[in-house]
Amino acid sequence: MKVFFWAIIVIILGGLAWIRFAPSDPAVWHVDPKVTADQDLAGGVRRRIPADDGTFAELDRIILATPRTEVLAGSVEDGMVTYVTRSQWMGFPDYTTVMKNDDVLELFARSRFGQSDMGVNKARVESWLDRLEAQRD
């Protein structure tokens, strides 16, 4: 019985380690967001916002100020950036790709694990956009 218990503990810890330390392949996550309209999805969100020349750089600063967020690939100068934001306790990765498309920024935030993110990506993106709007007022 003890062996079974310890085997279950090892499996759970291995799964948690995989979630936290699994590599993020830019070829999979740093892709064109293809946002044609605002959408709320079970595991993420898509948004389109009007953008002038400085909007992307302002949004980039806001995003990078978010705890546990870093750039996976791209840059503002490239016109597309994919960010990884990890949850505080479990380290679940969420990916947000922002791309400049003429006078619009396309944002696509999505979770890597699970069927639903319980609105986390939507809340994060809306918070970023609210801060961006407040800076522009």
Residues 6-21 have pLDDT tens digits of: 888 888 887 777 777 7
Quote the percentage of the chain above a pLDDT of 90.
71
- Please give the span between the terminal C-alpha atoms of the chain, in angstroms, as a whole number: 64
CA distance 98 to 63: 10
pTM: 0.89
Please name the residues in contact with 84: beta carbons below 8 A apart, sequence gap of 6 or more. 24, 29, 69, 70, 71, 72, 93, 94, 95
User: 49 pLDDT exceeds 90?
Assistant: yes
**Domain 24-136 classification at class level:** alpha beta
